[in-house]
Amino acid sequence: MPHRKGLSWLFTHAITRAPSDSVANGIRAVDTGNPSGAAFRAEHEAYVQALKAAGLTVDVLPALEDYPDSCFVEDPAFCLPEGAILLRPGADSRKGEAGEIRAALANRFAKVIEIPRNGHVDGGDVLMLDDEILIGLSARTDREGAMAFATLLGDWGYNARVAETPDGVLHFKTACSTLGEGVILATKPMIDSGFFGDRKVVAVPEGEDYAANVIRVNDVVLVPEGYPNTLRAIENAGFKAVVLPTHEARKVDGGLSCLSLRFALA
């Protein structure tokens, strides 16, 4: 795949979904208390406004009470300039989410397809760079799904590589993000893994691993609130940052990237 400058951070549109009250029943690895639907919606509104301020047209889909984790729209789909791909999240409670978001994707893309075969892929395990797409294996993304997805991406002209996510990392992007310009933000275990080769990597400071999940949107990097050392590292690397609250999302293992599907349309 040729280098496509800005593929991973130059966007025109985003799709999000408002958090439901049922998010209190959302999946989490560690119980730190239930998120409040009302408080989460307030944080989500700040997130939507930040995307708009960065220059995006944002579609905000209505809350789905039947799917507690459905505000994390990045997991059931993946968007590229050529079209949208419906994924297959690995958690049983999320199996219907791809079908629920199909219509919104069809409103923006002429091509909406599903990954083949029977494996599972969560969008939180997919890191898009400007010259490569990394698919991390995890409790939510299995090898069958990852390989099927990689083959599909290859058919579309993209280089895709399947990687072994380090132990203890929920999703591949829980521990790394692209900052754009060929620079990656990552935790020490991800850096030590060697996945990123000779790419420039900004290390997440000790004790702030949650802040590895940021999103570059056009000229700004959206960073979770409460991680001053990571914020400083990003700014020292030459990037403009905007800080956003993610306190409710974190209670159900969510981060900034999970809350939107970001893409560029001509």
pLDDT tens, position by position, 138-154: 989 999 999 999 999 99
Q: β-strand 160-164 against 176-180: which pairing, if any? A: unpaired
pLDDT at 167: 87
Please give the tally of structural domains in the chain: 1
Whether 176 sits among the annotated catalytic residues: the reply is no
**For residue 130, is it within any domain?**
yes
User: For residue 2, is pLDDT > 80?
Assistant: no
Catalytic: which of 79, 171, 176, 247?
A: 171
**For residue 124, is it within any domain?**
yes
**For residue 187, is it within any domain?**
no
Whether 171 sits among the annotated catalytic residues: the reply is yes
pLDDT at 1: 65
Q: What is the mean pLDDT of residues 125-129?
A: 97
**For residue 172, is it within any domain?**
yes
**For residue 2, is it within any domain?**
no
**For residue 104, is it within any domain?**
yes
| Cα first-last separation, the chain | 20
- Going by pLDDT thresholds of 50, 70 and 90, the confidence category of residue 87 is very high
**For residue 241, is it within any domain?**
no
Domain that holds residue 25: 13-181+248-263
- Going by pLDDT thresholds of 50, 70 and 90, the confidence category of residue 168 is confident
Give percent above pLDDT 90 in the chain.
91
**For residue 8, is it within any domain?**
no
Of 50-54, 66-70, 193-197, 249-253, the one with minimum mean pLDDT is 193-197
Q: What is the pTM of this model?
A: 0.96
Which CATH number characterizes residue 92's domain? 3.75.10.10
Indicate the burial class of 131 (C-beta count within 10 angstroms; 0-12, 13-18, 19 or more): middle
